[in-house]
Structure 1
Amino acid sequence: MLELKDLNVFYGAIHALKGVSLTVGDGELVSLIGANGAGKTTTLHTISGLLHASSGSVTLDGADLQKVAPNTVINLGLAHVPEGRHVFARMSVEENLLMGAYILRDQKKIAANLDMVYQHFPRLRERRRQMAGTLSGGEQQMLATGRALMTDPKIVLMDEPSMGLSPLLVKEIFAIIQELHKSGITILLVEQNAKMALAVSDRAYVLETGTISMEGPAAELAADDRVRRAYLGA
């Protein structure tokens, strides 16, 4: 479904991504883990078209995403849940969700998607008239994820969904990610909480200073001594 081949990205003279290659298959949950500054968010921004690679390719079902404007990449089935949530604070929960469906024209489909999101996130249904800016951090993460699902995406990019949340809310958010995965949604997850990410993923990649240093089944990486020492506190 999603394929990155030999991706090189620069910030001025800084070589941020150095020949990054990875794949995400249909229905997979794949994690990209690494320390701060490793290039995880840069990878997602390049996939979404917010950054342009100097070389290499990004394709989604064969479509070259580097040739698609960032504001139209969503039409190809890619949704991005950004780091920091970025909900529309002065709009209600339901208005935020409907903004996610702006590319759809079928009102019945929009209503069905809204009902699907409320089934995944019953708390959003309870707060559908509440201003998004008054939600807790965990609820805003649910809202940002639900907004992405409103687009009927082929794949969802999730950037640091646990950031700034209490340990209890982190468990809740990851339980939701597992539920979405089990429902068949394809996910590329960028997450600094490597232990939680590896626990829910099918496969994973380790990114170190812009280079993929390890890859494989998530369970195998979680048991690898190098990963345990570097990212799991072992």
Structure 2
Amino acid sequence: MLQVKNLNVTYGAIHAVHDVSLEVRDGEIVSLIGANGAGKTTILHTITGLKRPRGGHILFDGQSLQTMDAFKIVRLGMAHVPEGRQIFAQMTVAENLDMGAYARRDKEQVAKDLEAVYTRFPRLRERQRQNAGTLSGGEQQMLAIGRALMSKPRILLMDEPSMGLSPLLVKDIFKIIQELNQSGITILLVEQNAKMALSIADRAYVLETGRIVMEGNAADLLSDEKVKKAYLGA
């Protein structure tokens, strides 16, 4: 479904991503783990058209993305849940969800999808007229996910969805990720919580200073001594 080949990304003189290649197959959860500053968010921004690569190829169902505008990438069926949630704080919950469907014209199906989001996240229904900036951290994360779902994605790119949440809410968010995957949405998950990310993923990649240093089945990486020592606190 998604293929990244020899991706290179720079910020001025800083070479942030070095020859990164990864693949996400239809129906999978694939985790990308690594320390702060490893380049995880940069990779997601480049895949979704927010940052232009210096070199390499990004293919979504065989279609090249590296020069495509971000709004066109959304229309292909890719949605991004950004780091820090990035909700529209001065807009209501309902208005945020409407923004998620801005590229769609199928009004009847949009209404059905909105109802599905409210069913999945009852707290959002309760607060639909409330300004998004007044929500708790967990509710804002639910809103960010719901907003992405309103674009009707086939693949969802999620950047640090557990950031700043209590352990109980982290469990809830990861359960939601699994449920979304079971409903037919492919997931590329960037996470610092390596243990949780690997526990729900099919496959994973380990990123260090802009380079893929390990890859494989998530269960194998979860039990790998190097991964345990570096990322799991073992």
TM-score by shorter chain over 0.5: yes
CA distance in 2, matches of 1:194, 1:158: 14
1:71 Cα deviation from its structure 2 partner? 2.9
1:128 Cα deviation from its structure 2 partner? 1.4
Task: Find out whether 1:33 has 2:62 as its counterpart.
Answer: no
SS at match of 2:69: coil
What CA deviation, in whole Å up to 9, does each residue of 1:41-72 have, x standing for no partner? 01001101111111110010111111211232
CA distance in 2, matches of 1:51, 1:106: 29
Q: Where in structure 1 do 4 or more consecutive aligned residues deviate above 2 Å?
A: none
Q: Do the aligned partners of 2:8 and 2:55 also contact (CA within 8 Å) in 1?
A: yes
Q: Do the aligned partners of 2:52 and 2:67 also contact (CA within 8 Å) in 1?
A: no
1:14 Cα deviation from its structure 2 partner? 1.3
1:140 Cα deviation from its structure 2 partner? 0.3
2:132 maps to: 132
CA distance in 2, matches of 1:109, 1:7: 36
Query: Which residue identity is paired with 1:70?
Result: A
1:105 maps to: 105
1:72 maps to: 72
SS at match of 2:71: coil
Query: Which residue identity is paired with 1:199?
Result: S
**Structure 2 gap ranges (5+):** none
Normalization by structure 1: what TM-score? Answer: 0.97
2:216 maps to: 216
Task: Find out whether 1:160 has 2:139 as its counterpart.
Answer: no
1:118 Cα deviation from its structure 2 partner? 1.6
1:145 maps to: 145
Q: Do the aligned partners of 2:57 and 2:64 also contact (CA within 8 Å) in 1?
A: yes
Query: Which residue identity is paired with 2:13?
Result: A
CA distance in 2, matches of 1:8, 1:67: 14
SS at match of 2:164: coil
1:22-61 alignment to 2 at 5 Å?
22-61=22-61
**Structure 1 gap ranges (5+):** none
1:80 Cα deviation from its structure 2 partner? 0.6
Q: Do the aligned partners of 2:154 and 2:184 also contact (CA within 8 Å) in 1?
A: no
CA distance in 1, matches of 2:6, 2:60: 15
1:120 Cα deviation from its structure 2 partner? 1.9
1:10 Cα deviation from its structure 2 partner? 1.1
CA distance in 2, matches of 1:15, 1:88: 31
CA distance in 2, matches of 1:12, 1:107: 43
Q: How many residues align?
A: 234
1:89 maps to: 89
What CA deviation, in whole Å up to 9, does each residue of 1:68-115 have, x standing for no partner? 112322111111111011111121111111110111112111111111
CA distance in 1, matches of 2:211, 2:173: 28
